[in-house]
Copies of this chain bind each other. A is one copy, B any other.
Amino acid sequence: MNSQKSFIPEIFKNVPLTKKEVVQIQGVFEKLTLKKGVTLLNVGELVEYQYYIQSGCLRTYFVEDSGKEHTVQFAIRDWWISDYTAFFSSSKAIMTIECLQDATIYKVSREDMENLYLEIPQLETFFRKKLEGAFSSFQKRILGSLSQTAKDRYTSFIATYPNIEMSVKNYHIASYLGITTESLSRIRREIAQN
């Protein structure tokens, strides 16, 4: 039945794993295919899973009382996504995860991962390092929001994430940068002119 190559070595690149370990890890992952527009996680739901993106594009966003949306994270090929604040504390989602482009993803529960860490410590190291990278990115984003104009933040965004820019709407980018779609439009015009 299972003639296709395992996706596990692809996810855990550079992590040395025995065949037995690959099978064991594979057992706790579940494949999902998502259509554009689908909601993967709703506000108020218990967040038990995080998701590895094999293809497609998703975003996590927060909705204010006023109805305004704020994109916290985009994810494309080889990224992970969840409402991490809720995931880490096994609590209820305050954010929504939406599929922006048809996607193939793998889900895994926090509980299963924590159990695997005990048996395969290099998995914990793998995720710790991912987390260190994400921490640095967030810090950079905070610094940007403190020190850069909207135009500079947009320019950095498209330079840093050209693949994301391609697959999302401008108003998604605006809600990630913390500006209105109208302001982004003006910024784009300004950039196009000069």
Q: Is A169 at the interface (CB under 8 A from chain B)?
A: no
Q: Give the bracket for the number of chain A residues in contact with chain B.
A: 20 to 34
Within 8 Å by CB of A139, from B68, B72, B131, B132, lies: B72
A178 and B145: CB pair below 8 A? yes
Q: Which residues, 118 to 163 on A, are CB-close (under 8 Å) to B? A: 121, 124-125, 127-128, 131-136, 138-143, 145-147
- With contacts A70-B146, A146-B178, A178-B146 known, is A135 near B139, CB below 8 A? no
A135 and B133: CB pair below 8 A? no
Within 8 Å by CB of A124, from B88, B128, B138, lies: B128
Min Cβ gap A193→B in Å is: 25
B139 and A138: CB pair below 8 A? yes
Q: Is A171 at the interface (CB under 8 A from chain B)?
A: no
B147 and A64: CB pair below 8 A? yes
Q: Which residues, 76 to 98 on A, are CB-close (under 8 Å) to B? A: 84-85, 88-89
Which residue of chain B lies nearest to A138 when distances are taken between CB atoms in the complex?
B138
Residues of A within 8 A of B (CB): 62, 64, 68, 70, 72, 84-85, 88-89, 117, 121, 124-125, 127-128, 131-136, 138-143, 145-147, 175, 178
12 pairs, CB–CB < 8 Å, chain A vs chain B: A62-B143, A68-B147, A70-B146, A72-B143, A84-B136, A88-B135, A121-B121, A124-B124, A124-B128, A135-B135, A145-B146, A145-B178
